């Protein structure tokens, strides 16, 4: 092989690799453009106009919808409910899921059955979950009030979804029940990769269960922990279906969140532009947190592999 051929070979290889890389990335780029960039651009356009769903040429209003949003007290009320949902609805499934996964970690028989039992509520449609739990919370014939009366706690029986002070937490309890199974299954899978020799050594050194969990187990499953945390947090910002089915934001807007408020503005009151602006607010709040946690997860994963 001549010197010219040897010098040309790396260039040809790099071009071939570049073409292969483009061919592999192109489908993802097309899907991203169709299902993310185009809808996002469309949403930005509608947030800058006063569109009522009928006018084909809506007037341009600039940032008026954003100014209206920040001055709207209903937005802050809905955002407060979102924050409650995020804090309680994130911490509870994470803590309960991790504790249940720790218990199942030592189970030798029937582990698959337990995983199916815990994961089943997560795969059920949100509409079905909302309807069934609506029946459970029924003030007259609901199973919850019937149980309370049966055990002598009839004074506690109430209209759970009709009380402004209780409705949000009643719906939140339903969401926790439905979402905990996901955390259980994912944490249980992560625990399979934990170095049990370190756990046994810490036990010999006198570490109790909370210490073994905090100093030995949790650092080893931290990338998975952050992944579950990211999905749960983003779900707290964008929650809609279960609240819409069970209370539709009521009573007296007690369970109103950004998702239900945006829906009402866009599709009930025909304020498409303002409703789209509210939807963009959800994106603006959730995406940076998701990106930050994702980068932290990747960093921890690379540290774990020694890269």
Task: Output the domain CATH number for residue 190.
Answer: 1.10.3720.10
* pLDDT of res. 72: 95
Residues 117 and 17 in one domain: no
Same domain, 170 and 216: yes
Q: What's the CA gap between 91 and 177, in Å, rounded?
A: 13
pLDDT for the residue 9:
54
Q: Are 11 and 158 within one domain?
A: no
> Do residues 26 and 69 both lie within one domain?
no
Our CA angle for 86, 89, 95, nearest 5°, is: 120
Let me know whether 11 and 153 are in one domain: no
Asked whether residue 26 falls in the same domain as residue 126, the answer is no
Residue 1 is predicted with a pLDDT of 52
139 shares a domain with 278: yes
Predicted pLDDT at 274: 94
The reported pLDDT for the residue numbered 117 is: 87
| In a domain? residue 213 | yes
Q: Within this chain, do residues 17 and 144 fall inside the same structural domain, yes or no?
A: no
Domain assignment present for 51: no
Q: Is 295 helix (H, G, I), strand (E, B) or coil?
A: helix
Domain residues for the domain of 277 are 64-305
The reply to whether 50 falls in a domain is no
Q: Of 241, 237, 195, whose CA–CA distance to 216 is shortest? A: 195
Residues 104 and 1 in one domain: no
Nearest one of 244, 238, 284, 280 to 89, comparing CA atoms: 238
Q: pTM value? A: 0.85
Q: Are residues 14 and 110 located together in one domain of the fold?
A: no
Tokens for 119?
Answer: 């994961």
Segments in the chain below pLDDT 70: 1-12, 301-307
Cα distance between residue 100 and residue 123, in whole Å: 18
Number of domains composing the chain: 2
């Amino acid at each position: 092989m001549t010197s010219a051929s040897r010098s040309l070979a790396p260039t040809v290889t790099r071009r071939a690799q570049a073409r292969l890389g483009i061919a592999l990335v192109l489908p993802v780029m097309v899907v991203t453009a169709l299902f993310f960039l185009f809808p996002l651009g469309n949403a930005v356009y509608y947030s800058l106009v006063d569109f009522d769903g009928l006018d084909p040429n809506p007037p341009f209003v600039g940032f008026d919808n954003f100014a209206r949003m920040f001055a709207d007290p209903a937005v802050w009320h809905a955002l407060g409910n979102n924050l409650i949902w995020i804090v309680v609805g994130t911490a509870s499934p994470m803590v309960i899921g991790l504790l249940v996964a720790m218990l199942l970690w030592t189970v030798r028989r029937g582990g698959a059955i337990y995983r199916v039992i815990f994961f089943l509520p997560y795969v059920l449609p949100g509409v079905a979950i909302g309807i069934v739990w609506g029946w459970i919370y029924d003030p007259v014939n609901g199973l919850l009030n019937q149980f309370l009366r049966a055990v002598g706690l009839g004074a506690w029986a109430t209209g759970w979804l009709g009380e402004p002070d209780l409705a949000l937490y009643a719906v939140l309890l339903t969401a926790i029940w439905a979402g905990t199974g996901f955390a259980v299954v994912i944490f249980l899978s992560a625990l399979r990769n934990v170095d049990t020799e370190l756990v046994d050594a810490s036990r010999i050194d006198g570490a109790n269960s909370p210490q073994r969990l905090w100093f030995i187990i949790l650092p080893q499953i931290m990338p998975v922990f952050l992944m579950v945390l990211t999905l749960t947090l983003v779900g707290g910002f964008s929650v809609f279906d279960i609240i819409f089915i069970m209370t539709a934001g009521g009573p007296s807007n007690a369970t109103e969140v950004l998702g239900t408020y945006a829906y009402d503005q866009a599709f009930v009151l025909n304020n498409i532009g303002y409703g789209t602006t509210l939807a963009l607010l959800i994106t603006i709040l959730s995406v940076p947190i998701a990106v930050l946690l994702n980068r932290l997860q990747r960093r921890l994963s690379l540290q774990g592999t020694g890269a």
